[in-house]
């Protein structure tokens, strides 16, 4: 009794005062780093000074009765216990800190509608309704907060409820340290000037790139005589919509592979993914495809860009995790003449890339990022959450696609003003998805990867004016 009274009178430790200890000697550098990251993220996202946690203890077994439990919150002023799971420990620390925040500020009990008891099954571990509701809250609170501004703006404009109620609550009361990315009130109009570049229904298109006034598509098509699919490239004249001869790439796989295309200044590089990944430099005039011996490519290529003799590739390296398969995002650069790797600092997780003067532009989890080889560092501008691929709309504007609920549309980034703009009619539900490419200053959008019901795959040309 006396002890608990004393504890109640002791000021709560701040995050800066929280120490990490390892009484069982089972942690390593990765574990300590994960704990520090978990605390730092939680402090930044919540904007709080602390949640009354004096210590995070690395323990061989945090709760012998429950072997599957790898983190444990024991009450206000008590150490949080975590097991040395390097890939999980930051999330586990955030989860237990969420319990501490709930204990201190009482979020779960008054909000049973948002964090329902039923979402956590009754068990020996969570025997009471209160324990179950607290666990539901901690499960929601441990997640990385996503920027909800675009969903909020679209929801207001288009009379939709695009932000789930628990997410809205967490943003308003828990993740108050997160800086939102503003969307300008000034709309930027983009017109669809042509939808007449339709493709053969027997072409399965999954890559698109702009090259010298034309589009290059990475495709699969069925060859009757061979009784199999082949992978290759076709060129589309954007003025006439005419397709050039199909160039078959030297692959012989039972199932068609994905073809990722990157093109710039006469160079076309195609990545073909079937059972394994191969890269080719393709001459579109002669149809010659020469393999490029790139070392250390990711297991799965998501996108690529060619810019001034350099090739940039992003994708995923699969690696075994403690609890299953994990994917690790990778961005690599190569000199196209020598195929030698080029040093490139990481801009975080990369979603898409396109060529730019002197380097590349990328959409990353930190925002819109620009890299010039001479400068050697990334210039990053925060981006709203929920946007996808992008293309060039004008010299200083980039257009991004979004999909929020059933809404499909575009947002424009003005690089001069460093501001984001919605289109004047943002409530459409059209087929904006797929992959982007730009030819000169005209962005093209491949509407969907595959034709449905044998219908031609549409390419949308978007007007900058
Ligand atoms: Zn929990």
Domains of the chain listed by start with CATH number? 2-105 (no CATH), 191-463 (2.120.10.80)
Q: What is the pLDDT of residue 116?
A: 95
Q: In what order do the strands lie in the sheet with 407-414?
A: 387-394, 397-404, 407-414, 419-422
Q: Alpha-carbon distance 385 to 148, whole Å? A: 7
Q: What is the pLDDT of residue 167?
A: 94
- Tens of pLDDT, residues 307-340: 999 999 998 887 655 555 667 788 999 999 999 9
Say how many Å lie between the CA of residue 117 and the centre of ligand 1: 13
CA-only gyration radius of the chain, Å: 26
Say how many Å lie between the CA of residue 83 and the centre of ligand 1: 14
Say how many Å lie between the CA of residue 78 and the centre of ligand 1: 15
Say how many Å lie between the CA of residue 132 and the centre of ligand 1: 9
Say how many Å lie between the CA of residue 63 and the centre of ligand 1: 13
Q: Alpha-carbon distance 229 to 252, whole Å? A: 9
Say how many Å lie between the CA of residue 33 and the centre of ligand 1: 21
Asked if 143 contacts 136 with a C-beta cutoff of 8 angstroms, the reply is: no
* The length of the chain, given as a count of residues: 465
Q: What is the pLDDT of residue 465?
A: 46
Q: Which long-range CB contacts under 8 A does 233-242 form with residues at least 24 apart?
A: 233/259, 233/261, 233/268, 233/270, 233/282, 233/284, 234/203, 235/211, 235/284, 236/197, 236/199, 236/459, 237/213, 238/197, 238/213, 238/214, 238/439, 238/442, 238/444, 238/461, 239/213, 241/196, 241/197, 241/198
Say how many Å lie between the CA of residue 138 and the centre of ligand 1: 6
Number of neighbours of residue 453 by Cβ within 10 angstroms: 5
Say how many Å lie between the CA of residue 90 and the centre of ligand 1: 14
Say how many Å lie between the CA of residue 339 and the centre of ligand 1: 49
Say how many Å lie between the CA of residue 93 and the centre of ligand 1: 10
Number of neighbours of residue 311 by Cβ within 10 angstroms: 25
Q: What is the pLDDT of residue 5?
A: 45
Say how many Å lie between the CA of residue 140 and the centre of ligand 1: 10
Eight-class DSSP state of 163: S
Say how many Å lie between the CA of residue 414 and the centre of ligand 1: 43
Q: What is the pLDDT of residue 252?
A: 61
User: What DSSP string describes 303-338?
Assistant: EEEEETTEEEEEEEEEEEETTEEEEEEEEEEEETTT
Q: Alpha-carbon distance 216 to 244, whole Å? A: 10
Q: Which pTM value belongs to this model?
A: 0.78
Per-position b or e across 341-350, b if 16+ CB within 10 A of its CB: eeebeebebb
Q: Alpha-carbon distance 257 to 270, whole Å? A: 11
pLDDT < 50 positions in the chain: 1-7, 194-195, 449-451, 465
Q: Which of 74, 75, 92, 77 is nearest to 35 (CA)?
A: 92
Say how many Å lie between the CA of residue 3 and the centre of ligand 1: 25
Say how many Å lie between the CA of residue 15 and the centre of ligand 1: 19
């Amino acid at each position: 009794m006396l002890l608990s009274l004393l504890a109640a009178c002791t000021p709560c430790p701040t995050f800066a005062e929280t120490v990490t200890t390892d009484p069982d000697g089972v942690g390593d550098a990765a574990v300590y780093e994960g704990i520090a990251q978990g605390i730092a993220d939680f402090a930044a996202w919540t904007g709080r000074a602390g949640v009354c946690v004096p210590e995070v203890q690395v323990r061989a077994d945090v709760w012998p009765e429950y072997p599957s439990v790898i983190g444990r919150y024991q009450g206000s002023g008590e150490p949080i216990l975590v097991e040395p799971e390097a890939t999980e420990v930051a999330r586990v620390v955030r989860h237990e800190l969420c319990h501490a925040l709930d204990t201190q500020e009482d979020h779960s009990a008054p909000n049973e509608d948002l964090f329902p008891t039923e979402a956590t099954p009754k068990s020996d571990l969570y025997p009471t309704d209160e324990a179950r509701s607290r666990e539901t809250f901690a499960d929601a609170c441990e997640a990385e907060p996503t920027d909800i501004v675009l969903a909020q703006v679209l929801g207001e404009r288009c009379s939709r409820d695009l932000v789930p109620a628990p997410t809205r609550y967490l943003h308003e009361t828990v993740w108050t340290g997160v800086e939102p990315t503003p969307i300008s009130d000034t709309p930027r109009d983009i017109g669809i000037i042509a939808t007449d570049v339709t493709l053969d229904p027997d072409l399965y298109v999954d890559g698109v790139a702009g090259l010298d006034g034309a589009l290059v598509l990475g495709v699969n098509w069925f060859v009757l005589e061979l009784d199999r699919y082949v992978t290759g490239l076709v060129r589309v004249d954007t003025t006439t919509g005419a397709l050039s001869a199909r160039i078959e790439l030297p692959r012989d796989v039972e199932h068609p592979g994905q073809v990722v295309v990157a093109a710039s200044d006469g160079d076309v590089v195609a990545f073909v993914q079937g059972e394994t990944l191969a890269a080719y430099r393709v001459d579109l005039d002669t149809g010659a495809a020469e393999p490029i011996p790139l070392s250390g490519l990711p297991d799965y290529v998501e996108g690529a860009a060619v810019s001034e003799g350099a090739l940039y590739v992003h994708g995923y390296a699969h690696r075994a995790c403690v609890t299953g398969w994990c994917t690790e995002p990778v961005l690599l650069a190569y000199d196209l003449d020598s195929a030698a790797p080029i040093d490139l600092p990481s801009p975080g997780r990369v979603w898409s890339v396109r060529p730019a003067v002197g380097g590349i532009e990328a959409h990353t989890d930190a925002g819109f990022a620009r890299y010039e080889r001479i400068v050697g560092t990334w210039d990053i501008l925060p981006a709203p959450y929920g946007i996808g691929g992008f293309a060039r709309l004008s010299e200083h504007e980039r257009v991004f696609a979004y999909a929020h609920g059933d809404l499909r549309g575009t947002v424009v980034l003005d690089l001069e003003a460093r501001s984001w703009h919605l289109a004047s009619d943002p409530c459409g539900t059209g087929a904006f998805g797929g992959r982007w490419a730009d030819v000169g200053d005209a962005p093209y959008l491949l509407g969907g990867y595959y034709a449905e019901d044998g219908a031609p795959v549409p390419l949308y040309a978007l007007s900058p004016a």
